[in-house]
Amino acid sequence: MNHSIILAPMEGLVDAPLRDILTRIGGIDRCVSEFIRVTEGPLNIGSIQRIVPESAQGWKTATGVPVHPQLLGSDPHWLGYNAALLADLGAPAVDLNFGCPAKTVNRHRGGATLLREPQTLYQIVAAVRAALPAHVPVTAKMRLGYSDTSQTLECARALADAGAAEIAVHARTKMDGYKPPAHWDWLARVRETVSVPVVANGDVADVQDYQRIRQVSGCSQVMIGRGLVACPDLGLSIQDLQRSGAVAPLSWAELQPWLVDFYVQVRERVADRHAPGRLKQWLGFLARNYPEAQALFDQVRRQTCADTLQSLLVSGMRAAA
């Protein structure tokens, strides 16, 4: 799909409730799930359903936006085996994580550490491709490398040559973490090196960033993570700009019901002692664009009672209405 917006997978942040809220706000064409860790053995169906509950509704969010499951691991055989399991469950595609910078993940040969092993990347993608039905694509997400860009193009070629139908590239190395800037010029170099579509990713926080990353990279698809979490209507604004040239940002009053909805969904999924932390996490991101979010965060910073926090949210929404 041309000019598509893909919601990035972000472990511990972009979970099913947030995917639901962001896709209902609109402007998102596809989601990639949080990673499902594969070790030496078959996945538990319950674990898959917990991480990707959309699997029970045709692998789509409530508004019909496709959700592609993502696997993380380093064993080609078991990644292939579990990819086939996902396909049996109806997954429309299987994504592979070669970009996670987390130390605990990298310590266990997962995520971005594999960017030091292009041959392993090839073996994993080839095994997954061979295990999947022809109509189910395998895609991959990578960074520019582990500590430098000396193997960036070799890694991208390994993924494409092994059968990846699409490669999303976060324009930083593992060691860069999320420190600015993202190196968008490398996205163009990767796109020119491989024959499969490349998805641009990294540091898209507003409509202007979206326009620039597309111009610099030459990519028609853009994956956005933190930018959509901090600005929930960013996809919608991009869509509006393309259609009419005008953008009408979501006001704080319009956003508040979504906050309540999100928190209710979170409480259905996690123990009450963990729910306040998830809301505060999202408020921390929203504060980048909404001063009211910072004020609310300051108000609830020390609040640990899930019921009290929900009452504060509801009363704040009513006051703004």
DSSP structure class, residue 8: P
Active-site residue, from 100, 155, 219, 231? 100
Nearest to 198 by CA among 158, 220, 172, 167: 167
3-state SS class at 221: strand
CB distance 72 to 35 below 8 Å: yes
Nearest to 68 by CA among 35, 100, 25: 35
* Residue appearing with tokens 């949080």: 34
CB distance 226 to 203 below 8 Å: no
CB distance 143 to 131 below 8 Å: no
Length of the chain equals 321
DSSP line for 9-75: P-TTTS-HHHHHHHHHHS---EEEEEEEE--SSPPPHHHHHHH-GGGGGTTB-TT--BEEEEEE-S-
Helix axis angle for 234-244 and 207-217, nearest 10°, is: 70
Beta strand segments in the chain, E = 5-7, 30-37, 67-72, 94-98, 138-145, 166-173, 198-201, 221-224
Nearest to 128 by CA among 73, 179, 46: 73
Query: Is 31 part of the annotated catalytic residue set?
Result: no
In one-letter notation, the amino acid at residue 165 is: A
Instruction: Name the residues annotated as catalytic.
Output: 100
